[in-house]
């Protein structure tokens, strides 16, 4: 993400409470790729994903998205950030943990329907 994308993402997601998550994506290591997962049924989530180069809508099947699109893109330096429902976050957290990656949830959106989260690095067990 470049500086303009970071500032745009921060402005668009302020109402969704995902600022710490976007800040994490913006301050990641050089050369790192950021993938965004969002639930397209919600305006806040669509606004969150809009400035991202790689955004995936999980409204139909979060596990299918993981195994069809995200799992093969996992490698060091790739961060996956999301603004989804709690149920989708739980499914993706389980997929990430089974793949040995760390899942962290963050802030809930203003109305509590969406959860901001990130997947990066390796789990420490």
Domain segments of the chain: what residues? 3-122
Residue 109 confidence (pLDDT):
72
Q: pTM to 2 decimals?
A: 0.72
> What is the mean pLDDT of each successive set of 10 residues along the chain, which is 125 residues long?
50 48 46 87 93 93 93 81 94 92 82 88 55
Residue 118 confidence (pLDDT):
92
Contact 45/58 with Cβ under 8 angstroms?
no
d(CA 99, CA 55): 20
Residue 107 confidence (pLDDT):
75
Residue 112 confidence (pLDDT):
78
SS3 of residue 79 by DSSP: strand
Please choose, from the candidates 78, 95, 86, the residue with its C-alpha nearest in 3D space to the C-alpha of residue 36: 78
Task: Find the farthest-apart pair of alpha carbons in the chain and give their distance in angstroms, rounded.
Answer: 37
Please choose, from the candidates 82, 85, 86, the residue with its C-alpha nearest in 3D space to the C-alpha of residue 119: 82
Residue 32 confidence (pLDDT):
74
């Amino acid at each position: 993400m470049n500086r303009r994308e970071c500032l745009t993402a921060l402005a668009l997601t302020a109402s969704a409470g995902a600022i710490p998550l976007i800040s994490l994506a913006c301050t990641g290591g050089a050369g790192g790729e950021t993938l965004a997962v969002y639930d397209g049924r919600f305006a806040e989530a669509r606004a969150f994903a809009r400035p991202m180069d790689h955004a995936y809508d999980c409204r139909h099947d979060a596990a299918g998205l993981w195994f069809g699109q995200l799992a093969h893109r996992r490698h060091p330096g790739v961060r996956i950030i999301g603004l989804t429902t709690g149920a989708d976050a739980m499914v993706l957290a389980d997929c990430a943990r089974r793949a040995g990656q760390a899942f962290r949830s963050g802030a809930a959106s203003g109305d509590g329907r969406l959860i901001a989260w990130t997947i990066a690095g390796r789990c420490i067990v």
